[in-house]
Amino acid sequence: MASLSFFIGIIGNIISILVFASPIKTFWGVVQKKSTENYKGEPYITTLLSTSLWTFYGLLKPGGLLVVTVNGAGAVFQFIYVTLFLLFAPKEKKIKTAKLVAILDIGFLGAVIAVTLGFIHGNTRLTFVGILCAAFTIGMYASPLSVMRTVIKTKSVEYMPFLLSFFLFLNAAVWSAYSVLVSDIYIFVPNSIGFVLGLAQLIIYSMYKNKSKSAKSTEKMEEEVAAQLVKADIEMRGFGDDHDEDHMNRTALVKGRSLPKPSVNRQNSLQKIMKTISLGPYDLYSTWPNDEPDVEMGSK
């Protein structure tokens, strides 16, 4: 039984590290762009606190080596993410993030360690820290609920990466099995809840995956139709401008024959005015600088 629990714990370590490493691509983009854009720092701050607490729990628990290794690695990953976030976040977001780090990852974590070691003794230490760890882990597994609501509302899985959802589900399943083998209720409760929520995410993903594709296809089709309509409108406008120009020229010619002949300067000005009226907006913009000196000469 002990060898089986150790083997499952090793698998849990590997899967958990893959989950912790999943934001590397995101932060590589942050470093390249030197901006956190619309990303939020809260998930990494709370996960840093959670992994740090679990590392402390593993140190207190007899035979808790596997809990220490996986959460110690997770704490290192989260520390790097939070540091990068602080480096590249905008000023206001940077100040807010720094305050949360000071309150949660330094102040709260330090207080828990101080109270546990200084005022709590015996098995009560493990119970106190275990309850805190379980509460934070439940919060971590419950955080995708808002994403699930967005998927249902928008009928799109764009904001629910499949691999991350799958590995969270797998991670919760493995650690639930591990907790049963080692009889640890503090590991079992949050991970069993995570298993149920992870399964729900995968079900929702399978329900809306095809709908997302069809919505994107419809959107692409609408863009193509809109582009064709704009092109046709431009062509029709071009044809209309040519037609209007011919019509105005003919009208001006008929009127010119029926009116008395003006003086030379006045005739030049009149021709310029008639030519300007017959131009379209694009033609008016492109030819106006060339005609301006002539108009001035006509007025003189």
pLDDT in tens, 150-172: 888 888 888 787 888 888 899 99
Domain check: are 93 and 234 in the same one?
no
Q: Are residues 112 and 44 in the same domain?
A: yes
Which of 151, 177, 211 terminates a domain? The answer is: 211
Same domain, 29 and 146: yes
In this structure, the answer to whether residues 84 and 180 fall within a common structural domain is: yes
pLDDT score of 57: 97
* Residues whose CB is less than 8 angstroms from the CB of residue 180 and which lie 6 or more positions away in sequence, other chains included: 188
Question: Is the domain of 238 the same as that of 284?
Answer: yes
pLDDT tens digits for 267-294? 554 454 444 333 333 333 333 333 433 3
What are 126's two structure tokens? 């493990």
- Residues 64 and 174 placed together within one structural domain of the fold: yes
Choose among 113, 89, 111: nearest CA to 102. Answer: 111
pLDDT at 144: 73
Neighbours of 10 (CB within 10 A): 15
Residue at which a domain ends, from 211, 242, 275: 211
- Do 224 and 108 belong to one domain? no
At 278 the pLDDT is 38
Looking at the structure of the chain, the number of domains it has is 2
CA dihedral sign of residues 263, 264, 267, 272: negative
Is 74 in the same domain as 169? yes
CA–CA distances in Å: residue 162 to residues 65, 114, 203, 289:
31, 40, 11, 59
CA 122 to chain centre: 46
Residues 45 and 98 in one domain: yes
- Do 112 and 243 fall into the same domain? no
Q: Which domain holds residue 285?
A: 220-299
3-state secondary structure the chain: CHHHHHHHHHHHHHHHHHHHHCCHHHHHHHHHHCCCCCCCCHHHHHHHHHHHHHHHHHHHCCCCHHHHHHHHHHHHHHHHHHHHHHHHCCHHHHHHHHHHHHHHHHHHHHHHHHHHHHHCCCHHHHHHHHHHHHHHHHHHHHCCHHHHHHHHHHCCCCCCCHHHHHHHHHHHHHHHHHHHHHCCHHHHHHHHHHHHHHHHHHHHHHHHHHHHHHHHHHHHHHHHHHHHHHHHHHHHHHHHHHHHHHHHHHHHHHHHHHCCCCCHHHHHHHHHHHHHHCCCHHHHHHHHHHHHHHHHHHHC
Q: pTM, whole model, 2 decimals?
A: 0.67
* Together in a domain, 151 and 283: no
Give the pLDDT score at 156.
86
Same domain for 228 and 162?
A: no
Spans in the chain with pLDDT lower than 70:
1, 212-300
Q: What is the pLDDT of residue 108?
A: 97
Last residue of one domain, picked from the residues 160, 179, 211:
211
Q: Look at residues 272, 278, 274, 275 and name the one whose alpha carbon lies nearest to residue 298.
A: 272
Task: Record the tokens describing residue 284, joined without a space.
Answer: 């008016």
